Amino acid sequence: MSSVVRLPRRIYRGAEITRAPDMINDYDFSSVYQPILSPTHRKLVGYEALVRVRKNNESVSPFALFEQAEAKDLTAELDRHLLQIHLDNFAAGSQPVWLFLNINPGTCIHPEASLEKLALQCQSSGIDPEKVVLELVETASDNPEALLDFILKAKAHGFQIAIDDFGMGDSNFERLWRINPLIVKIDRSLLMNAQDHTRARLLLNSLVRMIRESGSLVLIEGIENNAQAHIALATEADLLQGFLFARPGQGSEELTQTAETALRQVMSESERWCQNDFRTRETYLKLLRFEIMDACHALARGEEFDRVCRPLLQMEGVRRCFLLDQKGVQQGSLAQSGASRNAAFNPLYQSAGACWSHREYFRNALERPQHISCSRPYVALPDARRTVTLSTGTSLAQGHRIFCVDIHPDEVLDGQVLFPDTL
């Protein structure tokens, strides 16, 4: 692919070709391409086209250039010229991969004319529209109906659709389902937050899962280090992009090899991390199971509830233990880790005599009497924290009881423990 292209002195207005405005002709433009990779296939599957601008051998910010074009009402003309450059340079490389093109929001206002011109540009470059992925910002248009109309017409022309920066601003799933894009690109701020905060990581995992279940591929961009790559891979995202794999460059075989080699290295390191994490999680879960069974045996021998629970409450993430009768009614108070909370600030904290028969962990213990069952995460009433409750039946002198253990999963191994249905 060529490096620097003097802007073609033409713009498309249907079948008409006119000279480009002098403002645009004053600049030299080059295409650079950032690899997009599939971790499943461990290979490059596409490039995002980006522009580099120079004037009098000095770099110019593309944002500044677009601001100048907007002031002169030349945004559409500039956008078409840049798309033509990207298409021409990409065609020169002849690689069987997707080309991701960022579409200016203003292009969506008159979809029929805009798409006809873009189709002509693809034709002149010898590129099948199905090879082209149009990147749109879901919230860029003040007219959602116009945006949807553009997308429907683009699909009719054969173009693929990607929604960019999802998760930023007022992104919502209702519009996503209506648009039904091939690819959803997650805003990189979500990945950065996930690196620093366990809760943000959980939200990212859930977001990726919901998007994939809705029928779109997920692309996580902005990956700059191994920790971020590990987080992205853990979400099971379909596509990855970022400086860790390759910086934007010429779409050459060398760039492809660089990106794929980096991906394989990241995948290998991630697999080692996963193996280490698995062993650590397994050790934690085995110890947890041992302490729960030991507590049940001690209770069956008639030992004091608070003393029996002390070893459990010293384990990472374990916050409360309590007993239920066969009707789900709590027997006595909570055994809890740390300092007691002032119940005056939470009327739900004192729970002796409360009935928990409607809770999943109670039903699990009845249905799986020989197992230690794990509930799905929920917000527990005593402290309004994300909680997993482990429960199992035990026979005491007073009759059959359900022994329950509340755990804050976000506090266990940085929130990386996925509790199984049973221990």
CB 382 within 8 A of CB 340: no
Where do runs of H (alpha helix) occur along 94-197? 111-125, 144-157, 173-179, 188-196
Where do runs of H (alpha helix) occur along 246-405? 253-300, 305-313, 360-367
Q: What is the pLDDT of residue 66?
A: 84
Classify burial at 219, counting beta carbons within 10 Å of its beta carbon; exposed 0-12, middle 13-18, buried 19 or more: buried
* Structural domains in the chain plus CATH codes: 4-251 (3.20.20.450), 279-415 (3.30.450.20)
Within a 10 A sphere around the Cβ of 179, how many other Cβ atoms? 19
Nearest residue to 63 via CA among 55, 72, 73, 53: 53
Q: Which portions of the chain are predicted below pLDDT 70?
A: 1-22, 92-94, 138-142, 169-171, 339-350
Paired tokens of 59: 């770099």
- How do residues 5-15 score in pLDDT, each as one tens digit? 333 333 333 33
Q: In degrees rounded to 5, what are phi and psi of residue 83?
A: -60, -40
DSSP 8-state class, residue 410: G
Q: What is the pLDDT of residue 149?
A: 86
Q: What is the pLDDT of residue 3?
A: 39
Taking each helix axis as running N to C, give the angle between helix 253-300 and helix 226-234, from 0 to 180 degrees, rounded to the nearest 10.
70
DSSP 8-state class, residue 211: H
Gyration radius from the chain CA atoms: 29
Q: Which region holds residue 84: left if phi is over 0, alpha if psi is between -120 and 50, else beta? A: alpha
Q: What is the pLDDT of residue 94?
A: 64
Instruction: Kindly list the distances between the CA atom of residue 325 and the CA atoms of 225, 251, 394, 399, in Å, as whole numbers in the listed order.
Output: 51, 67, 10, 8
Whole-angstrom Cα distance, residue 399 to residue 326?
9
